[in-house]
Structures are given as structure tokens and as C-alpha cells.
A and B are shown apart, each in its own frame.
Chain A
């Protein structure tokens, strides 16, 4: 900065052309350094690392998805055979996919209801607001393994919560309840995070709108439906999109609590990929399954972009 400003003055005073030329050359080199090279030198280390950890393997993944590969030795190119097998022959993949969709539906209903309810209550409260926010957010910072331990204890059929209402079967041990039990433990940890996001958005709503609703004699529900929800709609819809994408990635809770059991009843795509890649030595097939997750995620994003184009004010 100092030098850019000093330059023309120098030229005036010295008047010597050669000197000025040399100076300008130096000046451009300095400019090149300062505006191009140094900034990029600062960017390159982390971008290089990120590309090495994410982009390179992602491209390899795209390639391997078209191969038959055990993870060791040569990968044999087989075209679309993996995808053909996945969608037309491999029933376990279709089942896993349907479980991810169930998980997604659960996650779009239960945590969102909890979070909207909690946030709309908390937005009105002044005294103790900080305490409530901290307490309700707290489960989100727990490691998944700890949350899983807590809920394994709470679900245990000998003296856990179900026994209080006289239900003495293992929620995690039966194929028709296991997935929902896991999803609820996940909800317990997750909804506080959503709530804080919604709460922040609610605090941005113009209070005049609430006054107007009050004057019009709106009850709680009408106020929520006609003022609060439209006010935070962008955040809600964005989080819906993220939750839909994340629903295809679920791994931790299922792996820890049931490992895909009982009898494969909770096997979601990520568990299937894990087993294919690291236990059944079908790395090529696993890569293809990973590709499909990416495909579903981009479908979700495209759907939201499309709806936005169609005039849904997302």
C-alpha cells in the first residue's frame, strides 16, 4: 500500500526515466508477489491436503465403481455391472435403501417437530432462556458412542425405560422396533441443534408481525402457523435438505447399537458399504454403492433447486 502511493511522487522528483522503469519493474514484481503469489501460497497447503484426502479418492471411487475389485491387486473393468447387480439382483441393497428412506422420513418429522416446538416456546421466554438453550443443546456435543451407551442402557429389557410401562422385550433386539429405537436415540441427540438454528432464525422475525397477530386475536397455533413458520421458512427448508442428504450417510448409531442386526433388520447403506469394502472384499461394489449415495444426495439438491425455480420461495 505504502509503495503504491509513493511511486508516482518518486517519478516526479527524480525524473530519471531508467530509474523509473526499473522501479516500475520492481513494483510489478512486488504487486505480483503481493496480490497473486503470496495469497495463493497461503491457500495451497490446505487446498492441496483437502484435494489429496477428498478429491483424489473421490475420483478413484468413481473409477472403482465400474470395476470388480477386491481391494488388493488389479481392478477389472466391468462397466455398469455393479449398478445392474445393485438395483436388479441385490435385494439387501434395496432393503438397505428403503431403511435409509424410513430413517429420512423419521428424521424429517420427529426432530423437526421437537425443534420447532422447543424453539417457539423458547423464543418467548426471557428469564432462564440461556439455561434452557444450553441444556437443550447439550446432547448434541456428546460423542455418538456415549449417546449410544446411554440409550442402550435406557432400552435394556431388564430394568430400562420400557419395563416401567411393563414392556419387557428388547427394543434393539427385535427387527420391527430396532430401527426406530436407534432413530429415536439419534433424535435425542440431534434435535437441540436444530432448535438452536430455528431459535436464531426466530429472533430475526420482526416483532411488529407478532403485535399485529395479537391485535387480530390470533391464538398460539395461528401465530405459529402464520407468523413464525413463514418467518423461518428458509432455515427450515435448508435444514430439511441437509437432513435428507445426511439420512443417506447414517452409520455411527447403527454400527454401535446393532451393527446392522438383528438379522440385518437395521442394515442401512453405509453399513452395507462398510461390510462389502472391509469384510467381504468387494471394494469395487462398495465404491459403486458409495456412488449411489452421491447420486441420491445430488437428486435431493436438484429437487430443491427445481422447486425454487418453480417459484417456491425456498
Chain B
């Protein structure tokens, strides 16, 4: 009797997953199809694009990338974007790491107030302060500078980074820190020698998410940089599509170059990306 019932359940389950797999595959095609198409199209010639918009290229043309790299001035904009990403990630990790450590371990008077402040600050609509921020930045001559944009990105990513790092640090055992203190380490040494080596996965997750958000950022970059010399890859590519909008092989190749590093990193470390992005929850 029991065996029969279990058999019945087992059969039913197998039946039901087939249904699930079919629909999930359709969704996967919907999600990945456009990305694959972007990759494939970046190898087609512009003439072929019209004849064969959705298929594999008849002739794989690699020179699209070279042309896009030249025409889109990717050399400079890649360098700019790397500077923005590295600057923001390192500043955010240092400053938010300090703050998160303080909130997680020291719990100073006012810590709750800080948490509430960060929570409220992360939901305040960005358009409330973006316009005055622009004029403040102009007054300080921070427009079109690396540090101007890096400071904004660091501040915008701070609430998320602090929350995530704090929750990570709370999960670590306290005993090691106490042991280090007994041996006469000061707070900074405890942080650098004990916390960072133990909590590096948390730091890596935050670094990836912050780096990704800076690499992809458009809205702030388009407002705060007007000098093409300082454009990150996103806004420069936007101007590029304005000029070469009809040349699909160029624009596809350019877009593919922009996302290729991100995609590779995502595939290698997808667990951390998904974890970090969904726990952060709040994007600006």
C-alpha cells in the first residue's frame, strides 16, 4: 500500500517537473536569447545584418571589434571606467569596512541611529538631491574629475555596503579578535590581521556588486561628466550609438566588448553576485 502510494507520488513528481522544464526553457530562451544574439551579431557584417537578423553569421568577422574599439575610443573610456571602478571599490571597501566593523562589534552609542539613517538614506529618491548636488559639484570644480564621480559613487553605494558587510561580520566568531587583543593588538591591527582575512568573502561580494554598479552606471555619469576625455564607457558608448546608430555591427561589437568582462566575471562568481545583489535589494 505504502509502496504503491510512494510510487504514485514519484510518478506524479516526474510528470510535473517535465512541465516545469519546458516552461523554464522557454523563459531561458527569452532571457538569454537577446544576449546570445548580441554576441553573435557582433561578428556579422552590417550588410548581412539585414538579410540574416537572427541567425548565425555566414562569415565571422573579427574586424568589427577593431573598428568599434577605434571609433568608440574604447581605449580611453575603458581606462576611465577602470579608474572609476577601482577607485570606488577601494574607497568603499575601506570606509564601509571600518564603519561595518564598528557597527557589528563595537555597537557604540548611537549605532541604532546610524542604521536608521542609512536605511532612510538608501530609500530617499535620488532626484531630490541630484540637481543641487550637480551645482554643488560645479562650485567645487568636481565636475569632469575622477574624484568627483568616485566620491558620489562611494556615497551612493555606502548604505548597501555597510549593511552587507555588517551582517557578514556579525556572523564571525568573536574569540579570535579577543585573543588578538589579549596579545596586545590595537583596533586597527585586529581589523587588518583578523577580520579582513576571515571576512574576505564578504568583502569580495561587496566589491563585486559595487564594481558592477559603477561599471554599468549611466545616470550620474551623464549628468556629472561632459568632457569626452572623462567619459566612462557607458556614456561614451551612448554618444557612439548616437553617431553610428545605423551601423549595427559596430554598435553590437561595442556593446559586446563592454559586457564581456562583466559576463565572464558573473559566470565565474555567480553565486556571490546573486547573493550580493539580492541581499542588497536596494539599488539607486
Contacts and interface: CB of A to CB of B under 8 A. Distances in A.
Contacts of B158: 46, 49-50
Interface string B118-145: 1001011111111111111000000000
Q: How large is the interface on B (under 10, 10 to 19, 20 to 34, 35 or more residues)?
A: 35 or more
Contacts of A167: none
B17 interface: yes
Most buried by B among A60, A146, A154, A293: A146
Contact of B17 (A49, A124, A135, A255): A124
A122 B109 CA distance: 45
A122 B31 contact: no
A111 interface: no
Interface in B246-284: 248, 251-252, 255, 258-259, 262-263, 266-267, 270, 273-274, 277-278, 281-282
Contacts of B255: 145-146, 149-150
B222 A293 contact: no
B222 A255 contact: yes
Q: How large is the interface on A (under 10, 10 to 19, 20 to 34, 35 or more residues)?
A: 35 or more
Interface in B14-59: 16-17, 20-21, 23-24, 27-28, 30-32, 34-35, 37-38, 41, 49-50, 53
Nearest to A146: B255
Contacts of A273: 127, 130-131
B156 interface: yes
A44 to B, nearest CB: 9
A244 B170 CA distance: 32
A283 B131 CA distance: 7
State the majority secondary structure of interface residues on B: helix
State the majority secondary structure of interface residues on A: helix
A143 B134 CA distance: 23
Contacts of B136: 56-57, 60
B205 interface: no
Contacts, number: 260
B182 interface: yes
Interface string A144-164: 111001111110001110000
A132 B135 contact: no
B85 interface: no
A286 interface: yes
Query: What 5 pairs across the A-B complex have the smallest Cβ distances?
Result: A143-B216, A39-B106, A53-B155, A39-B108, A42-B102
Interface of B: 9, 16-17, 20-21, 23-24, 27-28, 30-32, 34-35, 37-38, 41, 49-50, 53, 95-96, 98-99, 101-103, 106-111, 114, 117-118, 121, 123-136, 151-152, 154-156, 158-159, 162, 178, 181-182, 187, 212, 215-219, 222-223, 234, 237-238, 241, 248, 251-252, 255, 258-259, 262-263, 266-267, 270, 273-274, 277-278, 281-282
